[in-house]
């Protein structure tokens, strides 16, 4: 029989954490710190609006690019939170989660051989999506000494005449790093100079703990070369609703919409009605959840400090990224032993790129009680390791 | 920090001071001072425990009583409210807008105890025009807390 598979797909490495998670799910009493989604339920008024839309029989497709009312609310939101003006009619595409927007954006913009710059550690889907779109992914290894921010120099060094898109994943999963306005200004200059585009994944944009998130699309000359990606999963605890969006220049959005209409048709209708409510009346919910995340973030950083574990202070998303290099193990070894010996699951940093070696991603989308229990076990574990190594 | 502090201890007054300081990102002494100030200002009225009595073998009856009263010259509803809230079995008294004036929440051991309070003590007050007593049959949610089974973490492991 002929090979039924596409080489391009077979050649994509499976995600490194699959194996790890398989062990976790077998282990009944394990505490997981591995999940990358909010622990809160979607606020009731948002769920209620979804239920109401079903009761009213709103069970049809929406227009391909999304419900008009939702697109208008998205534009209102970006106007009031970022001061960016988009035309709801031409510049917005409602997608099945931010992930679809990443995929569609790359497919709409890449010609064979184009290079896509991917700063790592970062979310695992950029690289495979770039490959599937026919691009050559070029990894920029971010450095702990820069708090995993992308510097103008790193960007400049990675750019070739084939570079087309920079993926800008901030606030960052897994490091929790953010890019402040001055950081963005420095790289915007390089981007404009080399005439490349930016795919700015701002899915964690509402979750920053040091001033308000700034979108790169807000800088002079950047809106026309930026695809801004956001969604409802993280800010409104709506992961299961699968709803995101992309905003950008109409030339790009219209081509993305074309692929989206053939591949997806439209994003789920119920979710779109619920999302309208989220944008209209959800600001308080976001604030409340953010306050809780921030308390947990402070707790974890304090716990690391007490056990002498090195960790830069992350100001975004709901992850901390402590350094475990002192133990002379790979991230994978550390995480595996931590799981086996203390029954706590934290994701090895290498799952998010080679530059995550020596780090661990710990999610704080868990209750304080759970985090306290887990930090007790981590303390026990690192004390044991230090004793093994003859340190004190 | 005041608002955030209050929001935390309203839900968990047993949280220890050190932890409170850590999660608020301030020094422990600041928390101590702020709590003292809040107590002095009467903003913190006490540190109570929420108990679901239904789960114990102790019988308790709670009733909501709507009370219509004649306000008194110069004192409005305050003096009549005071006469009512001084009874220890009265848990809460609220002045209410709408069809009646005072909402009295009463707790007793038995139905009879509550009803005799209403007929003997409450309705006989001069200024009370009428009462309507509603017994609570089941508590679903109290003080923002839902009684019932705690929800498990249903999030599934996904990649990433």
Q: Supply the pLDDT for residue A13.
A: 85
Determine, for residues A17 and B160 on separate chains, whether the beta-carbon distance falls below 8 Å.
yes
Residue A337: which CATH number? 3.90.1150.10
Same domain, A245 and A372: no
Give CA–CA dist A194/A143, Å, rounded.
23
Q: A392 in a domain, yes or no?
A: no
Nearest-CA residue of chain B relative to A26?
Answer: B157
Same domain, B60 and B17: no
Q: Supply the pLDDT for residue A261.
A: 96
pLDDT tens digits for range B83-141 = 999 999 999 999 999 999 999 999 999 999 999 999 999 999 989 999 999 999 988 88
Interface of B with A in 17-56 (CB under 8 A): 19, 22-25
Chain A residues inside the 8 Å CB shell of B25: 294, 298
Which of A255, A280, A305 is the last residue before a domain boundary? A280
Same domain, B32 and B66: no
Q: Would an 8 Å CB–CB cutoff place A295 in contact with chain B?
A: yes
Axis-axis angle for helices A250-263, A97-109 (nearest 10): 110
Q: A51 in a domain, yes or no?
A: no
Write the residue in A123, A294, A298 that is nearest to B160 by C-beta: A123
A120 - beta bridge partners?
A141
Chain B residues inside the 8 Å CB shell of A368: 23
To test the contact with chain A by mutation, choose from B21, B30, B153, B155 the residue with the greatest count of A C-beta atoms within 10 A, namely B155
Same domain, B74 and B113: yes
Determine, for residues B25 and A299 on separate chains, whether the beta-carbon distance falls below 8 Å.
no
**Beta strand B128-135 pairing with B61-69:** antiparallel
What ipTM does this complex have? 0.80
Number of domains in chain A: 2
Q: A48 in a domain, yes or no?
A: no
Same domain, B62 and B134: yes
Ordered per-residue pLDDT tens for chain A, 392 residues: 999 999 999 999 887 677 777 778 788 788 889 888 999 999 999 999 999 999 999 999 999 999 999 999 999 999 999 999 999 999 999 999 999 999 999 999 999 999 999 999 999 999 999 999 999 999 999 999 999 999 999 999 999 999 999 999 999 999 999 999 999 999 999 999 999 999 999 999 999 999 999 999 999 999 999 999 999 999 999 999 999 999 999 999 999 999 999 999 999 999 999 999 999 999 999 999 999 999 999 999 999 999 999 999 999 999 999 999 999 999 999 999 999 999 999 999 999 999 999 999 999 999 999 999 999 999 999 999 999 988 55
| Domain extent for A189 | 58-280
Q: Supply the pLDDT for residue B155.
A: 84
Same domain, A207 and A354: no
Same domain, B60 and B125: yes
Q: A15 in a domain, yes or no?
A: yes
Which of A280, A304, A327 is the last residue before a domain boundary? A280
Chain A residues inside the 8 Å CB shell of B7: 291
Residue B67: which CATH number? 3.30.70.920
Residue A49: what are its φ and ψ, rounded to 5°? -65, -35
Residue A249: which CATH number? 3.40.640.10
Q: Supply the pLDDT for residue A391.
A: 56
Same domain, B118 and B66: yes
Same domain, B25 and B82: no
* CB under 8 A, 24+ apart: contacts of B88-97: B89/B113, B89/B117, B91/B62, B96/B66
Nearest-CA residue of chain B relative to A348?
Answer: B160
Number of domains in chain B: 2
Using an 8 Å Cβ cutoff, are B81 and B122 in contact?
Answer: no
Q: B26 in a domain, yes or no?
A: yes
Same domain, A73 and A28: no
To the nearest whole Å, the CA of B51 is away from the closest chain A CA by: 20
Same domain, A87 and A177: yes
Same domain, A276 and A289: no
pLDDT tens digits for range B23-77 = 999 999 999 999 999 999 999 999 988 888 888 999 899 999 999 998 888 788 9
Q: B132 in a domain, yes or no?
A: yes
Same domain, B103 and B68: yes
Using an 8 Å Cβ cutoff, are A247 and A74 in contact?
Answer: yes
To the nearest whole Å, the CA of B44 is away from the closest chain A CA by: 21
Same domain, A124 and A170: yes
Same domain, A301 and A260: no
Same domain, B36 and B68: no
Q: Give the count of Cβ contacts less than 8 A between chain A and B.
A: 43
Q: Would an 8 Å CB–CB cutoff place A37 in contact with chain B?
A: yes
DSSP state of B9: H
Give CA–CA dist A42/A26, Å, rounded.
28
From A102, A135, A103, A144, select the one nearest A117 (Cα to Cα).
A135
Q: A50 in a domain, yes or no?
A: no
CA atoms within 13 A on the CB side of A79: 11
Give CA–CA dist A258/A265, Å, rounded.
9
> Whole-prediction pTM value?
0.91
Using an 8 Å Cβ cutoff, are B63 and B92 in contact?
Answer: no
Residue A335: what are its φ and ψ, rounded to 5°? -65, -40
Q: Supply the pLDDT for residue B152.
A: 81
Same domain, B16 and B72: no
Residue B10: which CATH number? 1.10.10
Q: B47 in a domain, yes or no?
A: no
Same domain, A292 and A270: no
To the nearest whole Å, the CA of B128 is away from the closest chain A CA by: 40
Q: A152 in a domain, yes or no?
A: yes
Token pair of A129 as six digits: 């999506």
Q: What is the 3-state secondary structure (H, E, C) of chain A?
A: CCCCCCHHHHCCCCCCCHHHHHHHHHCCCCEECCCCCCCCCCCHHHHHHHHHHHHCCCCCCCCCCCCHHHHHHHHHHHHHHHCCCCCCCCCEEEECHHHHHHHHHHHHHCCCCCEEEEEECCCCCHHHHHHHCCCEEEEEECCHHHCCCCCHHHHHHHCCCCEEEEEECCCCCCCCCCCCHHHHHHHHHHHHHCCCEEEEECCCCCCECCCCCCCHHHCCCCHHHEEEEEECCCCCCCHHHCCEEEECCHHHHHHHHHHHHHHCCCCCHHHHHHHHHHHHHCHHHHHHHHHHHHHHHHHHHHHHHHHCCCCCCCCECCEECCECHHHCCCHHHHHHHHHHHHCEECEEHHHHCHHHCCEEEEECCCCHHHHHHHHHHHHHHHHHHHHHCCCC
Q: Supply the pLDDT for residue B160.
A: 58
Same domain, A269 and A320: no
CB atoms near residue B127 (< 10 Å): 16
Give CA–CA dist B160/A203, Å, rounded.
15
Determine, for residues A299 and B159 on separate chains, whether the beta-carbon distance falls below 8 Å.
no
Same domain, B109 and B59: yes
Write the residue in B8, B25, B153 that is nearest to A298 by C-beta: B25
Using an 8 Å Cβ cutoff, are A165 and A196 in contact?
Answer: yes
Same domain, A180 and A63: yes
Which of A254, A280, A306 is the last residue before a domain boundary? A280
Nearest-CA residue of chain B relative to A40?
Answer: B153
| Domain extent for B7 | 2-40
Q: Would an 8 Å CB–CB cutoff place A17 in contact with chain B?
A: yes
Same domain, A103 and A22: no
Q: Supply the pLDDT for residue A357.
A: 97
From B74, B60, B80, B77, select the one nearest B137 (Cα to Cα).
B60
Same domain, A373 and A242: no
Chain B residues inside the 8 Å CB shell of A17: 159-160
Determine, for residues A295 and B153 on separate chains, whether the beta-carbon distance falls below 8 Å.
no
**Beta strand A344-345 pairing with A31-32:** parallel
């Amino acid at each position: 029989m002929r090979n039924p598979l596409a080489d391009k797909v077979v050649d994509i490495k499976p995600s490194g954490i699959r194996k790890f998670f398989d062990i976790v799910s077998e282990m009944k009493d394990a505490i997981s710190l591995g999940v990358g989604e909010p622990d809160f339920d979607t606020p009731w008024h948002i769920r209620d609006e979804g239920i109401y839309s079903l009761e009213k029989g709103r069970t049809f497709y929406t227009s391909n690019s999304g419900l008009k009312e939702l697109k208008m609310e998205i534009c209102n939101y970006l106007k009031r939170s970022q001061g960016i003006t988009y035309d709801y009619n031409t510049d917005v595409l409602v997608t099945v989660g931010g992930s679809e927007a990443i995929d569609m954006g790359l497919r709409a913009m890449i010609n064979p051989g184009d290079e896509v710059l991917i700063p790592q550690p970062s979310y695992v889907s950029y690289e495979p999506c770039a490959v599937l779109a026919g691009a050559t992914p070029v990894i920029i290894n971010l450095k702990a000494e820069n708090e995993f921010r992308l510097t103008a120099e790193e960007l400049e060094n990675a750019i070739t005449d084939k570079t087309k898109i920079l993926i800008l994943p901030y606030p960052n999963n897994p490091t929790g790093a953010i890019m402040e306005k001055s950081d963005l200004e420095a790289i915007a200059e390089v981007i404009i100079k080399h005439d490349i585009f930016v795919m700015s994944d701002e899915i964690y944009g509402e979750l920053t703990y040091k001033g308000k998130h700034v979108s790169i699309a807000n800088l002079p000359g950047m809106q026309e070369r930026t695809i801004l990606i956001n969604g409802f999963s993280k800010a409104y605890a709506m992961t299961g609703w699968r709803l995101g969006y992309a905003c950008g220049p109409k030339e790009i959005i219209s081509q993305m919409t074309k692929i989206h209409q053939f591949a997806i048709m439209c994003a789920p209708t119920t979710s779109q009605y619920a999302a309208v409510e989220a944008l209209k009346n959800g600001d308080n919910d976001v604030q409340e959840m953010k306050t809780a995340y921030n308390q947990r973030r402070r707790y974890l950083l304090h716990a690391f400090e007490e056990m002498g574990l090195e960790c830069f202070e992350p100001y975004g998303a709901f992850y901390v990224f402590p350094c475990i290099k002192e133990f002379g193990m790979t991230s994978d070894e550390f995480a595996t032993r931590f799981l086996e010996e203390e029954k706590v699951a934290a994701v090895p940093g290498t799952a998010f790129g080679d530059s995550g070696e020596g780090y661990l991603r710990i999610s704080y989308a868990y209750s304080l009680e759970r985090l306290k229990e887990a930090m007790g076990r981590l303390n026990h574990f690192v004390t044991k390791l230090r004793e093994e190594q003859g340190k004190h | 920090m005041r608002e955030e502090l209050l929001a935390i201890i309203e839900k968990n007054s047993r949280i220890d001071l050190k932890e409170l300081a850590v999660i608020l990102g301030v020094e422990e002494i600041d928390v101590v001072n702020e709590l003292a100030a809040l107590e002095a200002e009467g903003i913190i009225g006490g540190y109570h425990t929420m108990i679901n009595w239904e789960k114990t073998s102790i019988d308790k009856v709670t009733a909501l009583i709507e009370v219509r009263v004649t306000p008194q010259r110069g004192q409005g509803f305050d003096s009549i409210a005071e006469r009512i809230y001084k009874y220890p079995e009265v848990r809460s008294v609220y002045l209410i807008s709408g069809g009646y004036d005072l909402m009295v929440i009463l707790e007793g051991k038995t139905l009879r105890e509550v009803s005799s309070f209403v007929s003997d003590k409450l309705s006989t007050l001069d200024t009370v025009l009428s009462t309507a007593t509603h017994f609570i049959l089941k508590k679903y949610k109290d003080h923002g807390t839902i009684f019932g089974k705690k929800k498990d973490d249903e999030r599934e492991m996904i990649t990433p």
